[in-house]
Amino acid sequence: MLDVVNHRIVNKECREVPAEPPGGHGHHHHIEEDDRDPEHARWHLAVLNTLKDVDVVVAFHMGPTMVRALEALGKRVLLGVYASDAEELIEALRQHGL
């Protein structure tokens, strides 16, 4: 997690989701059927709880159920963002008006 103020990183924090992802999560083609599985739902809830105090979530890819859940909690979700370092991430935020 990064705290960004005026396009500058003021704090960095590494957070771990306190749950095991369902088998193969993260590198599969996300389909809505996965979201009906209780194990998958527990994973989503753990991720949402881990991100409860952030304003913006930046990711290269995310399933539609998680996007909707984050947006319902008032989070802004930026998808399709690939940043190899902090400067690229700051530039992506700037391009999105953040």
* Residue 40 is assigned to a structural domain of this protein: yes
* Residue 79 is assigned to a structural domain of this protein: yes
Number of Cα atoms under 13 Å in the Cβ half of residue 15: 17
Tokens of 20: 């095991």
Residue 31's pLDDT is what?
53
Residue 22's pLDDT is what?
78
Determine the structural domain holding residue 83 and report its residue range. Answer: 2-21+31-95
* Residue 9 is assigned to a structural domain of this protein: yes
Only one residue has tokens 């306190």, namely: 18
| 24 pLDDT tier (thresholds 50, 70, 90) | low
Q: pLDDT tens, 29-81?
A: 555 556 677 888 888 999 999 999 999 999 999 989 899 999 999 999 999 99
Give this prediction's pTM.
Answer: 0.78
* Residue 47 is assigned to a structural domain of this protein: yes
Residue 37's pLDDT is what?
78
- Total domains, the chain: 1
Residue 75's pLDDT is what?
95
* Residue 26 is assigned to a structural domain of this protein: no
